Structure 1
Amino acid sequence: MWNNQLVKSIPLKGHAEAVCAVDAVYQSDEPDLNLLIASAASDSTVRIWSRHGSEAKCIEILQFGNGFVMDVCLSFLPGSNVPILACGGDDCKIYLFIQQNGQFQKTLILPGHEDWIRGVEWAVCGEDLFLASCAQDCLIRIWKVCTKSKQLPETEDDSIRLKENVFTVKDTDTTYAVTLESVLAGHENWVYAVHWQPSFSRDGSMQQPMRILSASMDKTVIIWEPDKESGVWLEQVRVGEVGGNTLGFFDCQFSPDGSMIIAHAFHGALHLWKQATVNKKEWTPEVVISGHFNSVEDVKWDPEGEFIISVGSDQTTRLFAPWKRKQETEVTWHEIARPQVHGYDMRCLAMMGRFQFVSGADEKVLRVFRAPKNFIENFSNITGIPVEKLCSHQSSDLPEGATVPALGLSNKAVFEGDMAVQPAEDEETFNTISNQYPEIYFQPMILTEPPPEDHLLQNTLWPEVQKLYGHGYEIFCVACNNSNTVIASACKASKKEHAAIILWSTTSWKKLQSLPFHNLTVTQLAFSPNDKFLLAVSRDRNWSLWRQQDSSESGPVFSCCAYTDKNTAVHSRIIWSCDWTPDSKYFITGSRDKKVIIWGQCDLSVTTEGNMLDSIKPCSTVLDAGDSVTAVGISRVLTPHGRYIVAVGLENGKIILYTWKQSGQEPSLADWSTCVEMDNSQSHALAVKRLCWRHHAGRAGHNDLNSSEWLQLASCGADHCVKIFNVNRFAL
């Protein structure tokens, strides 16, 4: 990006292993002129690149033997245009390289750190150059580079003097001295990043503030500043994470004016703090974008279409909703709750009404969660929907929130009375196990805007209301019927006995039925909108269709009414996904073989009792999507011309929208119509895992006058992203 215009990127190819650090400086005030770039990689090299205009090339390779350089930073020697490069690595030393005669030459080695150096950064302050370094020894060291003539004359008394490291630049015949300015000790764990507050120019017109920001694995971010009188560097502000299953911070940055700081946590979250206008030492958390930090496996809309819930391999379940700021028309989506923080990678979920869901993970248990009172109240405040419309039953009966017991996986409900109990602080009561490891971390808060990361970690869990045991291996897929009475689930399987689908009652939470048919893992389950059918697709390349019979005393009973086998199968690879048309007449399957097919008969929903085995056939031609199909979804709202809207997600991250309508008795290629193919900027970078349409027309969070115009599609992918698309159905 230059002058708010996107410019063509130039790939720099040469490193043999992963690149871990890069830095660059302009060698002229004209940005189109020479740009000097340094990059460090795990191939034990630092490469120097030069970009001139639209061309870039590697001009030098610095070898580090068997060592690794963790960070690099470029600047210019005081009072000159001579580039200086600092490299910090795994040998606890900082290497300074000076460019002379067009080549970078190793000039100085700065010892002092006692563990791997994680960060180095230059800063210009007046006529001097400062270097900040941080390491796994929990310390930050500040070094000063200045011309030798500026050093104090040597004295013959016994006063303490810091050791000088002196070097001379032949090109300018100038001697420079490097001294250790200060050592900052305040962190209690590895310091991963250190950054100066940025300046606006290098020519000294606006001097760089002498402030340093550091991030550490001790879960804190510290602002350091020298005392105005003594010049001693002191800790001015400390912010960070409190509690939660976290492991500290990887990186941090100042805003250009220094009024805000942002930090990147170990678990992928961003934290943002803003300086108070009155009390300059008070920093408050701010709303920031957030999301999964590993593959997102499943996403679902709530029945009313007001929020979405997603699960991922980062072992979390996250709830996103639209937020409309007061006095503003723009609606933005934010994470407003993290109902489940688990010990296993999450795989699937299904909504059971508005504020209840069931999730499956890499364990043999299904877990059911229900929204607490504090969430419903805050959801009302953030979205502007009255609590009366959100909660039909008495909200006073609900728990306030939830917490996770020590060494536990189940979210325990916290009621109002639980939070009032405060343990005594005398030594005798502290020695009891229950008081040393308190379980009540939850603190209810009244929110009018999306919560910051600290609150998401601690106070937005949903209580777990039920566990469902019965599967022999890790849960892989789950579905709930539209009347919220039956749950269907399946687990990973390599044998027929383990690939059976299990049906559960949502009233008694008992196992209703086992449906054995498939030989390998069932990859997705889908109830028809009229709840009369259950569709299953599998790794064994077949699908099976189950019809609901007359309900018994314990609940509905399903029997297999149609399926594919070796003779009738169309798909030749794993069937990853399936879905139903809103009228329950047809269903769709998508496979790794790049094929998308719509199946059905004249009208499944009015079929009389009898054998449907031979009547379910392809109703469409085989659609070649161009790559492995990993997700399919059909909108419950049709086009104005009465055509079904079909979304197809591919393994390469592309999402394509089609419309389809059966035009005759025989499948015809004219039935399919390609509408939209997402470009690279809108698509996922890796495989699309799930596609889910909002059940109603309109856009969540908007009071659309023409609500029938818009549809919304939620998608999730292996690229850690959840996306929401606005689709104009009149344009399809």
Structure 2
Amino acid sequence: MGAKIEPLPPFTPDLYQRAWASVPHPTLPLLATAHANSVTVFSLSTLSKHSALTGGHSRSVRTVTWQPGLKSHQLRLVTGSFDASAGLWSWNGDNNEVTSGERLEVDVTKPQEGEEEEEAKEDWEFNLVLEGHENEIKSVAFSPSGQFLATCSRDKTVWIWEDVGVEDDDDEWETLAVLNDHDADVKAVAWAPDVPGRTKGARGKYSADVLASASYDNTVRIWREEGEGEWVCVACLEGHNGTVWGLQFESCPRRGDKFPRLLTWSADGSIRIWSLKEEPEEEGEEADTGSGATAGSIFRSGLGGIPNTMRRSLREDWECTAVLPKVHTREIYSATWSAKTGMIASTGSDGTIALYAEVEADGDTEMANTAADAETKDSASPAWKVLTTVPVAHGPYEINHITWCKRFDSGAERKGEEEMLVTTGDDGVIRPWKVTTQ
């Protein structure tokens, strides 16, 4: 299989300043880009500016995430800033614009006729500040249900917050846990997606929600909730020889409902894939937690009434099952795993975009022959191959982020189904890319 990556017209307007990341909404044709001390929301229908979030932070916004699980007419964002705070924003514009998509088809780079510029900025309301970190926030991420928010910082900690509002529009949040096992800056956090297999490792042990964190200390840690608000590190993944810049769980369901694999990328120029070694079911153990089981009910059914001394170990065994072929000559800042095709794209300091595909082995797309200790193998794993690369994708500028994104623009043959790549760089240009396979 081969592939081509071709540029599409860039999003307008150019931001003219370093942009850190662009994050698509899980269902709507919207893309939020963090830059300077603001966020610009673009329409994926028109590839133009939809709205802006300004005035909430005193320093640059480093990261942004959409809250899932809200009603169809609601939009909510959380921003993480160099000012050490996280901000909660809600859409304050016409709700019909969200559900009908009417305004998403309009370029609102400039105020509409009869509309003052200041009024155009008030579509987003800055509702709440989450404070506690001592240094800049590097990453923010919501759990699949939207109930939990994870933030991480240069202060070496990961904080977990819970949305305790009774109604969707209530802005009440509580701190559940402060995790401080890392020895250096925590660069990124990611939750396991809500796909088949996600609850499998939780059976009889702890909650189904799984959080991963990546750090400047070259490690990745896996966290689960052992009890009511008590989060514990169940695994420490070691193998990278440099800062782990980021991580993402696999969103494609795996054969046999296996637990999602984890993708990590690093300053050492490598991209690794990790897999949970799942224990065989014990006799008399139920095969599943049951549909509709909550994280709390899973915990109670597995541990309720059992003394601590009789609980099974909370440790999990994760192994590096693949190292992708080496392409990048400098630090890898970002990678993204397609939920639709399973392809992986990466980019970083060298300004190159690389696209990889998993090689089928004996009719199965799972790993064919890899090593837990990747240093004992050639770095070009036989189970993955490079499909294509795009050098100097943003000219001489570094690329800070890459993501898969559904296409809704006029050039898409199947709107909302086709995928494209979106890159965000130091040049302040948000670039979409068409990906075709051959």
Q: Is TM (by shorter chain) over 0.5?
A: yes
Residue from 335, 339, 357 that aligns with 1:600: 357
Contact 1:348-1:478 at 8 Å conserved across structures: yes
Question: Counterpart in 2 of 1:346?
Answer: 137
Question: Counterpart in 1 of 2:190?
Answer: 479
Q: 1:337 to 1:606 in 2, by over 3 A?
A: farther
User: Per chain length, whose mean CA-contact separation is higher, i.e. which structure has more relative contact order (CA < 8 Å, sep 6+)?
Assistant: 2
SS of corresponding position for 1:572: coil
Give how far 1:326 is off. Answer: 8.7
Q: 1:620 to 1:643 in 2, by over 3 A?
A: farther
Letter in 2 for 1:317: A
Contact 1:593-1:628 at 8 Å conserved across structures: yes
Partner Cα separation in structure 2 for residue 648 and residue 327 of structure 1: 30
Residue from 91, 95, 107 that aligns with 1:322: 91
Question: Counterpart in 2 of 1:499?
Answer: 218
Residue from 568, 574, 582 that aligns with 2:331: 574
Letter in 2 for 1:311: G
Contact 1:585-1:602 at 8 Å conserved across structures: no
Question: Counterpart in 2 of 1:562?
Answer: 322
The answer to whether 1:617 aligns with 2:385 is: yes
Letter in 1 for 2:264: A
Q: 1:318 to 1:620 in 2, by over 3 A?
A: same
Q: Deviations over 1:678-705 (max 9, x none)?
A: xxxxxxxxxxxxxxxxxxxxxxxxxxxx
SS of corresponding position for 2:123: strand
Q: Deviations over 1:332-372 (max 9, x none)?
A: 22222223354322111221131311111122221110113
Question: Counterpart in 1 of 2:430?
Answer: 655
Question: Counterpart in 2 of 1:632?
Answer: 402
Which consecutive residues of structure 2, in runs of 5 or more, have no partner in the other structure? 1-36, 39-52, 104-121, 195-207, 253-258, 281-311, 371-380
Partner Cα separation in structure 2 for residue 490 and residue 378 of structure 1: 30
Letter in 2 for 1:518: H
Question: Counterpart in 1 of 2:346?
Answer: 589
Which consecutive residues of structure 1, in runs of 5 or more, have no partner in the other structure? 1-267, 270-287, 381-459, 493-497, 664-732
The answer to whether 1:356 aligns with 2:148 is: yes
Question: Counterpart in 1 of 2:235?
Answer: 513
Give how far 1:537 is off. Answer: 0.8
Q: 1:510 to 1:584 in 2, by over 3 A?
A: farther
The answer to whether 1:463 aligns with 2:187 is: no
Q: 1:318 to 1:630 in 2, by over 3 A?
A: same
TM-score using structure 2 length: 0.59
Partner Cα separation in structure 1 for residue 341 and residue 328 of structure 2: 22
Partner Cα separation in structure 1 for residue 64 and residue 266 of structure 2: 20
Q: 1:628 to 1:311 in 2, by over 3 A?
A: same
Partner Cα separation in structure 1 for residue 389 and residue 136 of structure 2: 38
Contact 1:505-1:555 at 8 Å conserved across structures: no
Contact 1:300-1:351 at 8 Å conserved across structures: yes
How many aligned positions are there? Answer: 289
Q: Deviations over 1:550-585 (max 9, x none)?
A: 257647643211115xxx421001111111112251
Question: What is the RMSD of the two structures over their aligned residues, measured on CA atoms?
Answer: 3.1
Letter in 1 for 2:169: F
Contact 1:529-1:584 at 8 Å conserved across structures: no
SS of corresponding position for 1:369: strand
Contact 1:518-1:538 at 8 Å conserved across structures: yes
Contact 2:235-2:315 at 8 Å conserved across structures: no
Question: Counterpart in 1 of 2:127?
Answer: 336
Letter in 1 for 2:128: A
Question: Counterpart in 1 of 2:26?
Answer: none
Letter in 2 for 1:370: E
TM-score using structure 1 length: 0.37
Letter in 1 for 2:419: Y
SS of corresponding position for 2:169: helix
Give how far 1:610 is off. Answer: 3.8
Q: 1:622 to 1:466 in 2, by over 3 A?
A: same
The answer to whether 1:523 aligns with 2:245 is: yes
Residue from 366, 370, 373 that aligns with 2:162: 370
Q: Deviations over 1:156-209 (max 9, x none)?
A: xxxxxxxxxxxxxxxxxxxxxxxxxxxxxxxxxxxxxxxxxxxxxxxxxxxxxx
The answer to whether 1:548 aligns with 2:270 is: no
Q: Deviations over 1:426-484 (max 9, x none)?
A: xxxxxxxxxxxxxxxxxxxxxxxxxxxxxxxxxx6621111223111121111111136
Q: 1:551 to 1:485 in 2, by over 3 A?
A: farther
SS of corresponding position for 1:619: strand
Structure having the higher Rg: 1
Q: Following superposition of structure 1 onto structure 2, how do residues 53-132 of structure 1 map, counting pairs within 5 Å? A: none
**Amino-acid identity (%):** 19
